[in-house]
Amino acid sequence: MGIAALIQQISEKLSSQGDWVPKAILFACVFLVIITIGQMVAGLERRVAARVRSMAEKESPQKRISFNKGLFQTNDPTKKLPPFVNAIIPQSAEEQTTLQSRLSHAGFYSPDAITIFYVIKFVVCMLPAVFALIFIPIYGFSQIVMFATIISAIVGLIGPSFALDYLKNDRHYRLRKSLPDAMDLMVVCVEGGMSLQASIRKIATELKTIHPEISLEFTLVQLQTQMGMGVGKALEAFGYRTDLEEIRQLAQVISQSEKLGSSMARTLKSSAESLRLRRQQQAEAKAQKAAVKIMIPTVLFIFPAIFVVVLGPAMFQLSEMFSNMKN
C-alpha cells in the first residue's frame, strides 16, 4: 500500500505540473540511457583495441622500470571495480596514466588511488538520482528541487576533477614555500661535512613538524637512494612525482656536479639563492597583479554605492522638478 500510494502521489504531482515535466523526465532518461550505452560500447571497443595492440606488439613480460617504481602499481585499477562502474569509466591506458600523474602531483601515492578516485567520482555522479529520490516524493517537482538536482548533476560531473586540481595547486604552494628552508638546511649540512645522502636524511627528520609535505618527499628520496638509485635520479623522480620545475632543475645541477666533481656545497648554495630569488620575483609579480585584480570589486561594488550616494539626491530633485512642471 505504501508503494502504491507513493506512485499515485507522484503521478498526481506530475499531472498537476503540466505536460512539460513528464517530457523532461523522459528526455533525461533517454539521454542517460544513450550515454550509458555509448560508454559501454566505447569501453568494449577500447578493450578490444588494447588486446589487439598487446598481441601485435608482443611486449616482453618484464615491465618498464620508471622513476616511481615502488610507489605505484602497474596493475589495472579498474579490475577492482564492479562492472556497472567500469561502464562509465574510461579504461584506456593513456587516460589512466594521465590520471595517475595528476594523483601523484596532488600527493596520492597509494596503489589504490585511481580506484578510490573512480569510486568517488561514480558516487558523486549518482547524487542527482539520490537527491531526486529523496526530495521529489516530499516536495514534488518544484522549481527548487529541479534546480538543486541540476546543480548536483553539474557538481557530480566536474566536482572531483576541480577538487583534484585544487589539491594539486595547494600542495605545490606548500612545497614551493618550504623548499628554500630545505635547501638552506642542506647547505648547512653539506658545509658541515655531512654527505649528500646524510643531509637528505637530516632534512627528512628535522622538517617533519614544520613542513610535513617536503619531509615526506625527502623520505622517499632517501628510500630510493638506499635501494641503489643515485641522488640526482632520486631528486629527478621527486620532480616528476610532484611536477615541480625547481626540483627538476636542482636534480640536473646535482647530477652535473657529481659528474664533474665540483664543490657540492657551492652548487647547493647557488641553487638556494636562485630559489629565493625566484620566490621573491613571484611575490613581486603577485603584488603587481593585485592592482589590476582590485579593479573588479571596485567596479562591481564600490562604484554603484558611490553613484547612489552622489546621484540619488539629484534624481529626487529632478523628479520633483518634473512633477512641479506638470502641475
- What CA–CA distance (Å, rounded) separates 264 from 257? 7
**SS in 3 state form for 265-302?**
HHHHHHHHHHHHHHHHHHHHHHHHHHHHHCHHHHHHHH
Helix (H, G, I), strand (E, B) or coil at 72: strand
For residue 92, CA distances in Å to 47, 124, 145, 170, 230 come to 8, 22, 37, 28, 33
Please state whether the predicted TM-score (pTM) of the whole model is above 0.85: no
Predicted confidence (pLDDT) at residue 181 exceeds the cutoff of 70: yes
In this prediction, residues 120-135 reach a mean pLDDT of 75
- What CA–CA distance (Å, rounded) separates 235 from 252? 9
Query: Which domains can be identified in the chain, with CATH numbers?
Result: 13-168 (no CATH), 170-281 (1.20.81)
Instruction: Indicate the average pLDDT of the chain.
Output: 74
Which pLDDT band, with edges at 50, 70 and 90, does 91 fall under? low
Contact residues for 239 (Cβ-Cβ < 8 A; gap 6+): 245, 246, 247, 248, 250, 251
Model confidence pLDDT, tens digit, residues 202-211: 988 988 888 8
- What CA–CA distance (Å, rounded) separates 214 from 220? 10
Model confidence pLDDT, tens digit, residues 65-82: 344 444 444 455 555 555
Helix (H, G, I), strand (E, B) or coil at 69: strand
- What CA–CA distance (Å, rounded) separates 57 from 77? 22
Please give the backbone phi and psi of residue 78, each rounded to the nearest 5 degrees, phi first.
-75, -10
Predicted confidence (pLDDT) at residue 239 exceeds the cutoff of 50: yes
pLDDT at 61: 38
In this prediction, residues 136-151 reach a mean pLDDT of 70
Ranked by mean pLDDT, which of 20-29, 35-44, 82-91, 215-224 comes out on top?
Answer: 215-224
- What CA–CA distance (Å, rounded) separates 231 from 251? 8
Q: Which of 79, 124, 117, 120 is nearest to 101 (CA)?
A: 117
In this prediction, residues 137-160 reach a mean pLDDT of 72
Model confidence pLDDT, tens digit, residues 37-47: 666 666 665 66
Record the cell numbers describing residue 24, joined without a space. 523532461
